[in-house]
Chain A
């Protein structure tokens, strides 16, 4: 019996023009998203490699390691082109220094505001916005439509168990809609390596999970639509209601909840933090000047060269001490801000999760490494590299005066050799382990599953007592 109902559902959906049109549109969009995504990745990758090469090239011919301008860049993430998340909003370049705090700059949208105007048509957008409408379009008249057409009464004139009927309806619609969509998705996935996007085992697994999240999300809207059609008498009423729910869930709630909750927690602004830091730095500078003055009074020596060397040693010691102080201070300040910021994020996103769309977007961007985690992991990576870089610079005897040695006007220096840029340690961004990404996305996947379960059981229970 169940199989017959399933079969009927499948035929009812797949044969229609409605299906042909909407499936056509979705298939084209999905293929376009994969294709353009792959192309964008290529372009981003070329840009990245050109930037790295240019960075090295402008150092060629320099004779002093102390005078180089070194920049590191965030490489493009393969899945970022399918789920853009915040990858275009965070800075991708870091001016590397051997000491001091590192800053990211040059976000894609700041450099190219054109793309910020309408943003990207990526896979996540298609799932979140278009597939959900698709689901509503096919589920809104699942039950009350049949009642209006009179076929519901006819069906139940036969000994058809109600539970099997509603089960068959839901599963049937789901299968009829999802399985055809898998075709363009799989073609798209195949396009990725063909178009030169490097996908390793981890990336495939993450992509598979993003698609799974998309399927769950689709299921939420499908079960919701069927549920709504058991609640309301006329199909046009349920369509209206579903469109209103769609507008709120997809467009309004995620944005509004972040904005409302975001302002309810007070996080010190970046400007304030910067001011505190520069103030502390100025204080330290004054302290150092006083210490230097004292030292010079105590160690005044007629032999200028000896005094200069002594002063240099003392100054280096002082600088190291002060760096420690500065680092501790900066760490403290950053930690305080990070704690408040994390609290704010937690509140805002929890509120946003009322909408399944928010859950889906968050899960997808966690899996694609384009969530807010991207910035923190990039900064962490940069900080780790800074240790390596600083050690390298020290090994090249570049001290804090290194940069100024050239300006001394010495006339007894021979022509030094140009630096060998291959000696410079290479920055490689370490992606966080896949287990972290999966762990981060599990709560959202769980929520999506829960929504499915709630709406499914709602539809089920309502239908058991439905007035035919």
Chain B
């Protein structure tokens, strides 16, 4: 019996012209989104490779280790093909310099605002917006359409239990709509091989999970369609209701929730924070200058009152010692400033994650948000991307700074030795070393590690569960409504 009913459903769906048209559109869009995603990924990868090789080249051309600075970039992730998330909104690179904060800047959108005008299209976008509409378009008249055409009471006038009928409807709709969608998805995945996108094992795992969640999301809308269809008498009314529900869930709630959180939670602005840091630096610099001045007085104290030439000789003798002490002061100051900045950044981050938690909590009333958030977690393009990279870059800066400091010392020593040999020591110092490039072949490289699969999947368990709950509730609701449906 069940099998018969399911077959009937499948036939009804797969043979309707509505299906052929909308399925065609969805397939094209799925493949288009993956194709464009792959192209964009390759463009980002090319840009990344050029940028890093330019950095390497600049290092190779440098003539001194003093004040050497470099930049590190975020490497493009293949998963961003499927879900671009905030990848293009967040900075691509950070300056690495002993005196500067590690901060991601120059996002792709801020450098090329053209792409910010309409933004990107990715697989997750198509699933979130188009496929959900597709699901509604097919199930809005699942029950009341049959009632209107009179076939519902004909079927139920036979010994067909209502429960079986509804289950058959659900299964048939699900099979008839979801299975065909796997075809364009698989074809889209083929593009990954065709364009030689480097996908690791964990990437494939993340991708499979993403596809699974997409199917769950789609299932929710099938269930929703069935629910509304079994609650209303006419199909035009259910369509209107479903459209309003779709607009609310997919287009309105996600944005509205973020906006609400923005109004409700107060976060200090970047400008405030930057000025705070500047002020601290200025204060510290003044302190250090004072200390250095005192140090100078201390060092020069024995030469107090002596004639000019003797004073100068004394100064020459003690100059390097004084310099070293002054530099130590400066280094100590820099370390304190770095620590203070780190704390300030930490405070800011905490306030922001408060705000974020509230925003996402509110938005999770809509399965569309739950889906998008999961997709971003799996794609590694969620809002924690900033913290992840900045932390790694900060750690790299430590390594880099100690390397440069060591090399600087070596260079200085070599130069001092050379200066002692040359008569024009003063001129030599002022015009810098020669024009040969330094040997920086042993410079530590920045290698970022991507988020491990386990963490990404664990982060999406909440949303996965939420989507399942939504779906189960919708099906249960449809069940209850249909059992009491007036089929006349």
Contact = CB atoms under 8 A, between A and B. Distances in A.
Interface string A131-151: 001000100000000000000
B296 interface: yes
Interface in B108-132: 109-121, 125, 129-130
Contact of B282 (A58, A107, A118): A58
A344 B109 CA distance: 15
Nearest to B435: A286
A293 interface: yes
A283 to B, nearest CB: 10
A71 interface: yes
Contacts of B25: 244, 247
Interface stretch (B220-228, B251-259, B461-469): B251-259
A198 B440 CA distance: 56
Given A252-B29, A269-B51, A282-B61, A58 B279 contact: yes
A130 interface: yes
Given A54-B272, A259-B36, A270 B252 contact: no
B276 to A, nearest CB: 7
A109 B107 contact: yes
8 contacts: A107-B107, A113-B86, A117-B372, A129-B251, A130-B247, A130-B251, A278-B58, A297-B427
Interface in A279-334: 279, 282, 286, 289, 292-293, 296-297
A399 interface: no
Contact of B257 (A18, A86, A118): A118
A388 interface: no
Contacts of A211: none
Nearest to A105: B105
Top 6 A-B residue pairs of the complex, sorted by shortest distance between their CB atoms: A51-B271, A54-B275, A116-B89, A58-B279, A89-B116, A271-B51
B324 to A, nearest CB: 14
Given A69-B282, A269-B47, A51 B275 contact: yes
Nearest to B319: A409
A269 B276 contact: no
Contacts of A427: none
Given A107-B107, A110-B90, A110-B105, A120 B259 contact: yes
Interface string A151-175: 0000000000000000000000000
B271 A54 contact: yes
Contacts of B279: 54, 57-58
B244 A21 contact: yes
Contact of B113 (A25, A71, A372): A372
A51 B120 contact: no
B476 interface: no
A400 interface: no
Given A118-B369, A271-B54, A275-B58, A110 B104 contact: yes
Nearest to B107: A110
Interface residues of A, number: 100
Contacts of B4: none
Given A121-B256, A271-B51, A296-B427, A18 B240 contact: yes
A69 B278 contact: yes
B401 interface: no
A243 interface: yes
B97 interface: no
A275 B58 CA distance: 8
A272 B50 contact: yes
Contacts of A282: 61
Query: Which among A18, A254, A274 has the highest number of chain B CB atoms within 10 Å?
Result: A274
Interface in B406-452: 427, 430-432, 435
A262 B355 CA distance: 35
Contact of B431 (A113, A254, A292): A292
A113 B115 contact: no
A218 to B, nearest CB: 16
B352 interface: yes
A437 interface: no
Nearest to B300: A411
A285 to B, nearest CB: 9
The prevalent SS among residues of A at the interface is: helix
Contacts of A258: 114-115, 117-118
Interface in B249-290: 251-252, 254-259, 261-263, 267, 269-272, 274-276, 278-279, 282, 285-286, 289
A67 B283 CA distance: 12
A462 interface: no
B263 A292 contact: no
Contacts of A434: none
Contacts, number: 255
Contacts of A252: 29, 32, 121
B258 A243 contact: no
A204 B307 CA distance: 76
Nearest to A69: B278
Interface in A325-372: 341, 344-345, 348-349, 352, 358, 361-362, 365, 371-372
Interface of A: 18, 21-22, 25, 29, 32, 36, 39-40, 43, 47-48, 50-51, 54-55, 57-59, 61-62, 67, 69, 71, 73, 85-86, 89-91, 93, 104-107, 109-121, 125, 129-130, 133, 137, 239-240, 243-244, 247, 251-252, 254-256, 258-260, 262-263, 267, 269-272, 274-275, 278-279, 282, 286, 289, 292-293, 296-297, 341, 344-345, 348-349, 352, 358, 361-362, 365, 371-372, 375, 406, 409, 411
Contact of B85 (A50, A117, A362): A117
A91 B110 contact: yes
Given A89-B110, A115-B262, A118-B369, A240 B21 contact: yes
Contact of A106 (B51, B270, B363): B270
Interface of B, secondary structure class, is helix
B178 interface: no
B48 to A, nearest CB: 9
Contact of B129 (A121, A133, A251): A251
Contacts of B125: 251
Contact of A54 (B276, B282, B289): B276
Nearest to A261: B114
B399 interface: no
A137 B114 contact: no
B459 interface: no
B113 A270 contact: no
A296 B430 CA distance: 10
B117 A86 contact: yes
A58 B275 contact: yes
Nearest to B32: A256
A255 B119 contact: yes
A263 B116 contact: no
B166 interface: no
A272 B137 contact: no
Contacts of A121: 252, 255-256, 259
A259 B121 contact: yes
B260 to A, nearest CB: 8
Interface in B32-52: 32, 36, 39-40, 43, 47, 50-51
Contact of A109 (B89, B257, B432): B89
Contact of A362 (B22, B117, B254, B262): B117
Contacts of A292: 430-431
B395 to A, nearest CB: 21
Contact of A89 (B113, B262, B285): B113
Nearest to A289: B431
Given A109-B89, A111-B270, A90 B259 contact: no
Given A86-B116, A89-B116, A133-B247, A272 B297 contact: no
Contacts of A107: 89, 107, 109-110
Q: Which of A39, A93, A258, A406 has the most CB of B within 10 A?
A: A258
Contacts of B269: 47, 50-51, 111
A174 B262 CA distance: 36
Nearest to B385: A113
